[in-house]
Chain A
Amino acid sequence: MSLQVELEHYRDVLIVRLRGELDHHTADVVRFKMEEAILHGNSAHVILSLKDLLFMDSSGLGVILGRYKQLKAKGGKMVVCDVNQSVYRLFELSGLFKILPIHENERLALTSLEVVS
């Protein structure tokens, strides 16, 4: 179980794919891996791809919001894609979907970032 974080750099976009369960226990791994990639990679923007995210709670919201702020401070954009219904509900409750654009899949997310950059 647990959580796997897959990072892929594509042009100036960092694609982060989360697989498994994102809770307080696994949030640190996401935080450190993404922090490192945002600070030291050459990517301007981030796509958070959640197709294989099986579970998330408010600890996930915290770590996503943290990376959003980090990226925003650098002038980058963060978008989310492949959000399942339960994760969408958490985004809705917390108001996170007002600041994070949600796209159907990675391709559409990439297209949206190429338009804005």
Chain B
Amino acid sequence: MNGRNEMTLSFSARSENEAFARVAVAAFVSQLDPTMDELNDLKTAISEAVTNAIIHGYDSDPSGMVTIEGVIEGDVVKLTVRDKGRGIEDLELARQPLYTSKPNMERSGMGFTIMENFMDGFDVCSEPGQGTSIAMTKRIESKKALFN
């Protein structure tokens, strides 16, 4: 695809919207003709980011809003998930595999590890009391393979 394509999506911090976010992002990225594996990686990563915003950012308070910004440029998709929730006190600790601040909720502590592994680029910015923003990029290879 030539040029730049953008979208912004905002929704209530309700767990029902996790599936909605996955489907919406998959539909947006489908214009790049991703493989099933690439699509699954993106859906998993977006699910992790949105779930984090709902559970940790807003403590499951549905009055909070989660925003996803998607940008497609060339064969790269960039997804940014933002919340205006409580933020992350210790980012280093939060990014440790298997660490969770909510063990009683049966959280696996794998969210950040999965996002880092399933996407090509991953960056998280957080300010306690202000919110968190997670930016992720992925190159969709399938089209290239087709032309080669």
Contact = CB atoms under 8 A, between A and B. Distances in A.
Partners in one complex: yes
Contacts, number: 66
B119 interface: no
Contacts of A106: none
Contact of A57 (B16, B37, B44, B109): B44
Interface string A16-46: 0000010111010001000000000000000
A85 B107 CA distance: 22
B83 interface: no
Interface of B: prevailing SS: helix
Interface in B1-32: 15-16, 18-19, 22
Interface of A: prevailing SS: helix
Contacts of B70: none
Nearest to B40: A86
Contact of B108 (A21, A25, A58): A58
Contacts of B48: 57-58
Interface residues of B, number: 26
A1 B16 CA distance: 11
A24 B98 contact: no
A66 B104 CA distance: 10
B47 interface: yes
A62 interface: yes
Contact of B117 (A57, A66, A93): A93
B57 interface: no
A62 B98 CA distance: 10
Given A59-B107, A62-B108, A94 B44 contact: no
Contacts of B55: 24
A-B pairs with the 6 shortest C-beta distances?
Answer: A25-B15, A61-B108, A62-B108, A58-B110, A62-B106, A66-B106
